[in-house]
């Protein structure tokens, strides 16, 4: 399998998942599955789509390495600014349209992380940030979503109002957009660590 084929296969798999996610959302199947599968399983699918071949295929790892190594680092940081979009859910929570506390416990830190991406992108662009700090920032961006979501998942699933996250189009956030953003956190942390290691070896 060539590197370009590996990326095309990844994009195709993500496109299929997006279509499937949308169809389930439009039919309210996600709400119905809450009773059968009491877990936010949708968020894992995009990560599994790239993590499994990443772990098993050297060609796939090399393809991703080529992408993250040639893409300007400040671009990879700047895309995290999209997380500012969490403000929409926060506003709905303040207005009483969403009654789940999830929108505050996860939404507010996510929004603030999106804001921090503006400063970090500038620091990366101006070469004023150490690789170790960039790695830590990315890992923090991953952890602030994953840990408070999945460790207390049984609490969230039983919380009145949490079903809002399974409604369409909201389900596209955890089921695709957020999952891809935190995946980029992991990929940039990996790429930065690898670049740092290679630079140390070449010295």
| pLDDT tens, position by position, 26-72 | 998 888 888 778 788 899 999 999 999 999 999 999 999 999 999 99
Q: What is the pTM of this model?
A: 0.92
Instruction: Give residue-wise pLDDT tens across range 95-115.
Output: 999 999 999 999 999 999 999
Query: What CA–CA distance (Å, rounded) separates 183 from 138?
Result: 10
CB of 171 closer than 8 Å to CB of 165: yes
What pLDDT was estimated at residue 200? 66
DSSP class of residue 168 equals T
Query: What CA–CA distance (Å, rounded) separates 118 from 100?
Result: 28
CB of 191 closer than 8 Å to CB of 54: no
Question: How far from chain centre, in Å, is Cα 105?
Answer: 17
Instruction: Give residue-wise pLDDT tens across range 149-198.
Output: 999 988 998 888 898 999 898 999 999 999 999 999 999 999 999 988 77
Helix residue ranges, H only, the chain: 3-26, 29-36, 44-56, 58-70, 73-78, 87-94, 102-105, 107-125, 131-150, 153-158, 172, 178-202
What pLDDT was estimated at residue 51? 95
């Amino acid at each position: 399998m060539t590197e370009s084929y590996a990326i095309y296969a990844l994009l195709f798999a993500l496109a299929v998942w997006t279509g499937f996610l949308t169809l389930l959302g439009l039919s309210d199947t996600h709400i119905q599955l809450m009773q059968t599968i009491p877990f936010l399983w949708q968020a894992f699918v995009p990560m599994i789509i790239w993590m499994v071949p990443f772990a098993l295929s050297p060609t796939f790892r090399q393809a991703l390495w080529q992408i993250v190594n040639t893409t300007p680092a400040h671009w990879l940081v700047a895309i995290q600014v999209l997380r500012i979009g969490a403000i929409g859910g926060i506003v709905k929570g303040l207005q009483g349209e969403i009654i789940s506390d999830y929108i505050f416990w996860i939404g507010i830190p996510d929004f603030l992380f999106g804001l921090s991406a503006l400063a970090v992108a500038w620091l990366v662009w101006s070469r004023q940030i150490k690789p170790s700090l960039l790695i830590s920032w990315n890992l923090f961006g991953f952890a602030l979503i994953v840990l408070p979501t999945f460790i207390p998942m049984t609490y969230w699933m039983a919380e009145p109002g949490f079903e809002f996250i399974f409604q369409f189009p909201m389900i596209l956030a955890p089921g695709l957009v957020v999952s891809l953003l935190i995946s980029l956190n992991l990929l940039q942390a990996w790429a930065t660590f690898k670049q740092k290691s290679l630079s140390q070896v070449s010295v």
